[in-house]
């Protein structure tokens, strides 16, 4: 009998069995391209695209091509978001868009190309169809404890944090990333703030200690995608001294931190500053005792500084150029400065910026700036000035002279030219919209052109002219920007009550705000010739307070699973303190905007956010 066919069958069976052996590698599953790709908005020179989120996505790579398949300049970009905006396109032109995802270490193929065209010059976009409303989730009793502003629940957008407003309100910071605990006050090394900032990737930095971090060199925030949550520090909180802090990257959130530099290290610097980046928000911080400017932020896109106390720059100090005492230089593009207190500065209260300091970033990072609901108290030689060739809303700001103030009968000293080393950088006054401002020393000022000092009376085309409507701001992908506006007088009251690192106010901010309310200066002798509240050294006002925490407050930081949420919070809201993954889950927010960790960070300061905006109007800046 011929057995050859049976042997062949047996051999094939053995080969098949061996191929299915347990030690063979698993073939990775193919990653699917993102679905739901669509063009959300088309204008003459811009297109906005979006797609559905892919579970486990690390980032997306979006690509915009011309009709002939060549890449548009700047057309390939990586993003962690599910939308992208392209600007600077040609009107009436056809383009092709596609996107792929990186997940689990693998790249998907690109999505099918989507054709889209910019509008021709003069062509009007079609009106958006009425959307079908999503079913409203049912907020729980626990959710009410977080006191999320009702107007934010109405638009249900994920902001940098509840209460984030202005141009930087959509900053994501460390959302969805790892958690790093600061466990000591050392300048560097394991457990230090500097070490936490040196790490890469999305991260939220929380504090298990209270006190002063004495820097041995400048603190450089050079790796973005970070949230610095100063409100997590126990007791009296955190203060940074000796050297300057620089925001030197994009996508940065800083909240409830004090930057009180001082002159002991003879450093000629700002307490905190940053330029040339995007998506930054500073909230409830306190800045003082700089030798140059206390807080200078300009040439940034989608930036917000809100609810900060900027006070007591050092005047006759160690700076090589001599007398200083400056609040800050402020500007940018889609940049907001609201509900801040500038107090006891000789000048730059603030200096609204000019194009020369932008370098190569004028076209991309200079644009509309919203300066709103701020308070300026006890300026010396000048308050708000500058703005050459810029665009500024100056709305509902409060100006109150103090013991050192020179008479300045205007809201802004507008400059019309800037020349340096023979090069003309600016040749016109700023375009400004003024409304609702109040000067307690000259209450007859009325937001007309007569309330502006047109510096040198130069006869440029816009001399003595103001805008009739407010300048709009937009988010990084064209989103509407919101800000709460109070009257100037109510802004001043709210700022003095809640601005700065106010979860636990230190003696410095208490004194500054008391001075502003009373119209006085607690210290007349500045230490090196300055008087009337102007100081030359921090020792003239007592120096740094002690920042401490009780043992019980330190114990309250215990975080068994290291997810950034302490055990007491996880117990209270029925989370699992043995599960480190629930920090990035979104079970506490019925609208799925914020992670549980972000809800905890808000819970700590919920009462401040709840009351600070009372009596104001939350509206679009458009």
Which tens digits make up the pLDDT trace of 191-241?
999 999 999 999 999 999 999 999 999 999 999 999 999 999 999 999 999
For residue 342, is it left (φ>0), alpha (ψ between -120 and 50) or beta? Answer: beta
Please compute the mean of the pLDDT values over residues 569-573 and round it to a whole number. Answer: 98
HSE of 323, CA atoms in CB hemisphere, 13 A: 12
- The pLDDT-based confidence of 134 (bands split at 50, 70, 90) is low
Looking up tokens 């599960």 gives 579
What would the mean pLDDT of 2-28 be, rounded to a whole number? Answer: 43
Helix, coil or strand: residue 580: helix
Distance CA 605, CA 206 (A): 14
C-alpha 15, offset from chain centre: 62
Q: Which residues pair with residue 85 across a beta bridge?
A: 48
pLDDT digits (tens, 9 = 90+) for 144-170: 999 999 999 999 999 999 999 999 999
The two tokens of residue 174 are: 């460390």
Report, as an integer, the average pLDDT of 373-397: 98
Residue-level pLDDT at 80: 86
pLDDT band of 20, cuts 50, 70, 90: very low
The number of beta carbons lying within 10 Å of the beta carbon of residue 609 is 22
State yes or no: cis peptide before 467, omega within 30 of 0.
no
Mean pLDDT on 116-131: 77
Q: What does DSSP say about strands 47-50 and 83-86: parallel, antiparallel, or unpaired?
A: antiparallel
Q: How far apart are the first and last CA of the chain?
A: 92
pLDDT tens-digit readout, 358-371: 999 999 999 999 99
Q: How far apart, in whole angstroms, are the C-alpha atoms of residue 217 and residue 194?
A: 10
Angle at 490 between CA 486 and CA 495, to 5 degrees: 95
pLDDT at 420 > cutoff 50:
yes
- Alpha carbons 62 and 40: distance in angstroms, whole number: 15
For residue 320, the model assigns a pLDDT of 84
Q: Which fold has domain 38-117?
A: Immunoglobulin-like (2.60.40)
CA nearest 271: which of 252, 301, 297, 253? 297
pTM reported for the whole predicted model: 0.80
* Residue-level pLDDT at 141: 83
As a whole number, mean pLDDT of residues 54-68 equals 89
Tokens matching residue 25: 């590698």
**Averaged pLDDT, 51-59:** 88
d(CA 75, CA 66): 10
Over residues 4-11, mean pLDDT: 43
CA distances from 496 to 25, 123, 300, 305 (A): 65, 49, 27, 16
* Least confident stretch, 3-7, 110-114, 466-470, 578-582: 3-7
444, two tokens: 């007859």
pLDDT at 87 over 50: yes
Place of tokens 């193929």: 109
Of the pLDDT bands very low, low, confident and very high (cuts 50, 70, 90), residue 35 is very high
**Which DSSP string corresponds to 82-115?**
SEEEE-SPPTT-EEEEEEEEEETTEEPPPPPPEE
pLDDT higher than threshold 60 for residue 27? no
Instruction: Give whole-number Cα distances, 353 to 362, 449, 604, in Å.
Output: 11, 20, 35
Q: What local confidence, expressed as pLDDT, does residue 459 receive?
A: 77
161-541 classified as CATH 2.160.20.10: yes
pLDDT digits (tens, 9 = 90+) for 504-562: 999 999 999 999 999 999 999 999 999 999 999 999 999 999 999 999 999 999 999 99
Strand, helix or coil at 408? coil
Per-residue pLDDT averaged across 470-495, rounded?
98
Contact 605, 231 (CB under 8 A): yes
In the predicted model, what is the mean pLDDT of residues 268-273? 96
Any idea where the domains of the chain sit in the sequence?
38-117, 161-541, 558-611
Q: What are phi and psi of 5, to 5 degrees?
A: -60, -40
DSSP reduced 3-state for 297: strand
């Amino acid at each position: 009998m011929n057995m050859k066919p049976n042997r062949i069958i047996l051999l094939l069976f053995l080969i098949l069995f061996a191929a299915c052996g347990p030690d063979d590698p698993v073939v990775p599953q193919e990653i699917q391209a993102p679905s739901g790709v669509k063009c959300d908005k088309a204008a003459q020179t811009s297109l906005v695209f979006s797609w559905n989120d892919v579970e486990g996505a690390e980032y997306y790579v979006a690509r915009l091509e011309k009709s002939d398949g060549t890449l548009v300049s700047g057309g390939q970009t990586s993003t962690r978001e599910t939308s992208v905006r392209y600007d600077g396109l040609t009107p009436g032109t056809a383009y092709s868009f596609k996107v792929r995802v990186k997940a689990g270490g693998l790249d998907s193929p690109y999505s099918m190309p989507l054709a889209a065209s910019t509008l021709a010059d003069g062509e009007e976009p079609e009106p958006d169809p009425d959307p079908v409303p999503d079913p409203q989730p049912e907020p729980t009793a626990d959710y009410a404890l977080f006191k999320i502003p009702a107007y934010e629940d109405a638009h249900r957008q994920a902001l940098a944090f509840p209460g984030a407003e202005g141009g930087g309100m959509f900053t994501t910071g460390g959302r969805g990333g790892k958690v790093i605990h600061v466990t000591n006050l050392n300048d560097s090394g394991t457990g230090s703030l500097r070490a936490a900032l040196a790490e890469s990737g999305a991260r939220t930095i929380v504090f298990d200690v209270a006190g002063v971090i004495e820097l041995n060199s400048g603190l450089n925030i050079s790796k973005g995608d970070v949230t610095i949550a100063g409100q997590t520090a126990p007791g009296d909180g955190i203060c940074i001294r000796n050297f300057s802090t620089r925001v030197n990257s994009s996508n940065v959130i800083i909240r409830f931190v004090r930057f009180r530099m001082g002159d002991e290290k003879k450093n000629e610097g700002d307490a905190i500053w940053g330029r040339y980046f995007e998506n930054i928000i500073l909230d409830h911080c306190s800045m003082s005792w700089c030798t140059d400017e206390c807080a200078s932020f300009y040439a940034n896109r989608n930036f917000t500084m809100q609810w900060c106390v900027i006070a007591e720059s050092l005047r006759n100090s160690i700076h090589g150029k001599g007398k200083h005492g400056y609040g800050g230089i402020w500007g940018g593009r889609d940049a907001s400065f609201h509900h801040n207190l500038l107090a006891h500065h000789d000048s730059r209260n603030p200096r609204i910026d000019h194009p020369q300091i932008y370098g190569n970033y004028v076209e991309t990072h200079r644009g509309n700036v919203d300066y709103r609901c701020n308070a300026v108290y006890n300026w010396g030689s000048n308050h708000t000035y500058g703005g050459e060739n810029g665009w500024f809303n100056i709305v509902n700001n409060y100006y109150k002279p103090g013991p050192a103030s020179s008479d300045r009968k205007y809201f802004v000293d507008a400059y019309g030219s800037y020349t340096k080393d023979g090069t003309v950088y600016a040749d016109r006054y700023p375009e400004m919209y003024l409304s609702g401002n109040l000067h307690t020393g000259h209450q007859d000022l009325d937001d007309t052109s007569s309330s502006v000092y047109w510096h040198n009376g130069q006869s440029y085309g816009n001399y003595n002219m103001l805008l009739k409507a407010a300048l709009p701001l937009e988010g990084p992908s064209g989103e509407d920007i919101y800000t709460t506006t109070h009257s100037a007088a109510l802004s001043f009251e709210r700022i003095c009550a809640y601005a700065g690192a106010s979860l636990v106010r230190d003696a410095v901010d208490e004194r500054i705000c008391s001075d502003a309310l009373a119209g006085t200066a607690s210290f007349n002798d500045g230490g090196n010739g300055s008087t009337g509240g102007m100081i030359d050294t921090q020792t003239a006002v007592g120096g740094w307070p002690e920042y401490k925490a009780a043992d019980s407050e330190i114990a309250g930081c215990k975080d068994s699973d290291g997810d950034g949420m302490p055990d007491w919070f996880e117990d209270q809201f029925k989370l699992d303190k043995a599960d480190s993954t629930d920090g990035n889950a979104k079970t506490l927010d019925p609208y799925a905007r914020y992670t549980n960790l972000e809800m905890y960070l808000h819970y700590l300061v919920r009462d401040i956010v709840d009351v600070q905006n009372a009596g104001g109007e939350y509206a679009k800046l458009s």
